[in-house]
Structure 1
Amino acid sequence: MKTGNECKVIRVPIPTPTLLPHTTTNCYLIGNKHESILVDAGYDQPATKIVLQRVMKENGLALPKSIILTHSHPDHAPGVLQLVDWKPVVYCHRQEEQATLAAVAPWDQLSFFEDGDRISIAGEEIIIFHAPGHTAGQLNLYISSKQILLTGDNIVAEGTSWIGPPDGNMSDYLQTLKRLKQLKLNKIGPGHGEWVENPHEHIDFVLGRRFYRENQIKSLLEEHGSLTVVHLTNLIYDKLPHPNVFEVAKRTTEAHLIKLMKDDTVIMDDSYFSLK
Structure 2
Amino acid sequence: MSIFKVIRVPIPTPTLYPHTTTNCYLIGNDQDCLLVDAGYDVMETRTLLEEAIKENGLAIPQRIILTHHHPDHAPGVKQLTDWSPIIYCHEKEKEEIITAISPLEKVSHLSDGELIPVAGEKLQIIHGPGHTAGHLSVYLPSPKILIAGDNIVAEGTTWIGPPDGDMIDYLQTLNRLENLKLSKIGPGHGNWVFRPYEHIEFVRNRRLHREEQIKSLLQEHKHLTSAQLTEFIYNDSIHPSIFQVAKRTTEAHLIKLMKEGAVTLEDSAYSIVS
Corresponding position: 1:113 with 2:113: no
Asked if the contact 1:268–1:274 (Cα under 8 Å) also holds between the matched residues in 2, the reply is: yes
In structure 1, what is the Cα distance between the partners aligned to 2:42 and 2:34?
A: 20
Measure, in 1, the Cα distance between the counterparts of 2:88 and 2:227.
Answer: 37
Unaligned residue ranges in structure 1 (runs of 5+): none
- For the pair 1:265 / 2:255, whether they are aligned, the reply is no
- Between the two proteins, the alignment pairs up a number of residues equal to 273
**Residues 240-249 or 158-167, more deviating:** 240-249
Instruction: Tell me which residue corresponds to 2:9.
Output: 12
**Which amino acid letter does the alignment assign opposite residue 11 of structure 1?**
R
Work out the CA distance in 2 between the residues paired with 1:100 and 1:237.
32
Paired with 2:260 and 2:66, the residues of 1 have a C-alpha distance of 32
1:12-91 correspondence to structure 2 within 5 Å: 12-91=9-88
Q: Residue deviations 1:73-107, cap 9 Å, x none?
A: 00000000000000000000000001101100000
| Cα distance in 1, alignment partners of residues 140 and 235 from structure 2 | 39
**Residues 156-201 of structure 1, C-alpha deviation per residue, up to 9 Å, x if partnerless?**
0000000001111000000000011001100000000000000000
- After the TM superposition, which of the residue ranges 61-70 and 234-243 deviates more from structure 2? 234-243
194, 197, 200: which one aligns with 1:197: 194
1:183 aligns with one of 167, 175, 180: 180
- Is the 1:20–1:241 contact (alpha carbons within 8 Å) kept by the matching residues of 2? no
In structure 1, the residue matched to 2:97 is 100
Distance 1:256 1:139 in 2: 22
Task: Work out the CA distance in 2 between the residues paired with 1:240 and 1:114.
Answer: 39
AA partner of residue 220 (structure 2): E
Structure 1 position 155 matched with structure 2 position 152: yes
Number of the residue aligned with 2:232: 235
Return 5+ residue gaps in structure 2 as ranges.
none
Cα deviation 1:51-74 (Å, max 9, x = unaligned): 000000000000000000000000
Match of 1:250 among 247, 252, 263: 247
Identity between Structure 1 and Structure 2 (%): 61
Aligned partner of 2:205 in structure 1 is 208
Instruction: Measure, in 2, the Cα distance between the counterparts of 1:41 and 1:237.
Output: 32
Please list every run of at least 4 consecutive aligned residues from structure 1 whose deviation after the TM superposition is greater than 3 angstroms.
Answer: none
Q: What RMSD in Å do the two structures reach over aligned CA positions?
A: 0.7
TM-score normalised by structure 1 residue count:
0.98
How far off its partner does 1:241 sit? 4.2
